[in-house]
Amino acid sequence: GAVVSQHPSWVICKSGTSVKIECRSLDFQATTMFWYRQFPKQSLMLMATSNEGSKATYEQGVEKDKFLINHASLTLSTLTVTSAHPEDSSFYICSGGVGGVADTQYFGPGTRLTVL
Amino acid sequence: EDKVVQSPLSLVVHEGDTVTLNCSYEVTNFRSLLWYKQEKKAPTFLFMLTSSGIEKKSGRLSSILDKKELSSILNITATQTGDSAIYLCAVGIKGGSEKLVFGKGTKLTVNP
C-alpha cells in the first residue's frame, strides 16, 4: 500500500532556531499533501494543504510566515518551522493525497518537535 | 464552522467486552466519514463511509453511517488488549478546498 515517510522522526532544538521536516511519498505520487499538528490529548488539526508546484493554502489561525511549506515535487513536501518557540512543540504529521480528494490520504509516521 | 464530536472521550473495558464508539458531525459539505486507529504514531485507516445504513465490516470491527442523524458508530466486538488505541473519526469536506476535519478521538483501553 501507499507509504509516506517523514524525517526526522523527532527533533529537539533551541528557541529561535528553524527546523525543517520532510515528507515523502515513497511509492505513489501525491498531488496534494496535508500538514497536521497534534497537541497532547488533542486531535489532528489541519495546518495547511499544498498542491505540487503551487502555494500552500493555510487554515485560519496558522501563520504562513512561521510555517513555511514547500511542495516542490509530487513526492516531496517540506515544512519549515521558522524561529521556533516552546509553544511550537508538538507532533507534526503529514499525509499524501491522491487525485485532489481529501478522503484518500496516506499518513506519515509523524515528527515530534520539542523546542527548548 | 465544521465540527466533529466523538464520545466518549475515554473508555476502559475488559478483554472480551464489546464497545461502541460514537461520532457526530456538523459540516457544510459532507463527502465522507472515516475512522482511524492511532497508536503511538500516525493514524491508520479503518473505514470510509459515504452511504447511510450500509455497514462496513472488517473482522471484529464494524461501522455504520446515519446521514439523517449526522452520526456514525464504530463497534468492536470481543475486544483484545491490542485494540487499545485512540480511535479518530474524521469527516471529508468537499468543495474548492477538500480536507478532513477530525474529532478529538476516543481513547480505548482494554485491560486483560
Q: What is the mean pLDDT of residues B77-93?
A: 95
Would you state the cell numbers that stand for residue B60, as one nine-digit string?
Answer: 471484529
Identify all chain A residues contacting B43, using CB atoms and an 8 Å cutoff: 44, 93, 107
Closest chain A residue to B91, measured at CA:
A103
Cβ pairs A/B, distance under 8 A: 52
Of B34, B42, B101, the CB nearest to A108: B42
- Cβ A43 vs Cβ B104: under 8 Å: yes
Q: Do B42 and A102 touch (CB under 8 A)?
A: no
pLDDT for res A42: 81
Cα A22 from chain centre: 8
Q: What is the pLDDT averaged over residues B45-57? A: 91
B44 touches chain A (CB under 8 A): yes
Mean pLDDT of B57-75: 96
According to DSSP, the β-strands at B106-111 and B10-14 are parallel
What is the rounded average pLDDT of the residues B18-26? 98
Is the model's pLDDT at B88 over the cut of 80?
yes
CA dist., res. A86 & res. A78, Å (int): 21
The DSSP bridge pattern shows strands B61-66 and B71-76 to be antiparallel
Residue B8 pLDDT grade (very low, low, confident, very high; cuts 50, 70, 90): very high
- In this prediction, residue A54 carries a pLDDT of 81
Going by the DSSP 8-state scheme, the letter that residue B41 receives in this structure is S
Tell me which residue in B43, B44, B99 faces A102 most closely, judged by beta carbons.
B99
Q: What is the pLDDT of residues A71-90, one digit of tens each?
A: 888 899 999 999 999 999 99
Q: Which of B30, B35, B21, B17 is nearest to B77 (CA)?
A: B17
- Measured in angstroms, the CA of A66 and the nearest CA of chain B are apart by 21
Look up residue B74 and give its three cell numbers. Answer: 464504530
Q: Would you call A101 and B98 a contact, using CB atoms and an 8 Å cutoff?
A: yes
Average pLDDT, whole number, for chain A?
90
Query: What SS3 class is residue A26?
Result: coil
A84 phi and psi angles, rounded to 5 deg: -65, 145
> What share of chain B in percent tops pLDDT 90?
79
The angle formed by the CA atoms of residues B79, B83 and B84, to the nearest 5 degrees, is 115
Measured CA angle at A43 (ends A87, A51), to 5 deg: 85
pLDDT at A71: 87
Q: What is the DSSP string of B46-87?
A: EEEE-STT--EEETTEEEEEETTTTEEEEEE-S--GGG-EEE
Residue A50: phi, psi to the nearest 5? Answer: -130, 140
Which candidate from A45, A49, A108 shows the least CB-CB separation from B97?
Answer: A49
pLDDT exceeds cutoff 80 at B65: yes
Contact A102 B31 (CB under 8 A): yes
- The residue type of A96 is G
Closest residue in B to A4 (Cα–Cα): B42
* Bridge-based pairing state of the strands B85-93 and B30-38: antiparallel
Q: Is the pLDDT of residue A41 over 80?
A: no
Query: What 3-state DSSP class applies to B81?
Result: helix
> Rounded to an integer, what distance in angstroms lies between the CA atom of residue B78 and that of residue B86?
17
pLDDT over 80 (residue B77): yes
Q: Give A99's pLDDT tier (boundaries 50, 70, 90).
A: low
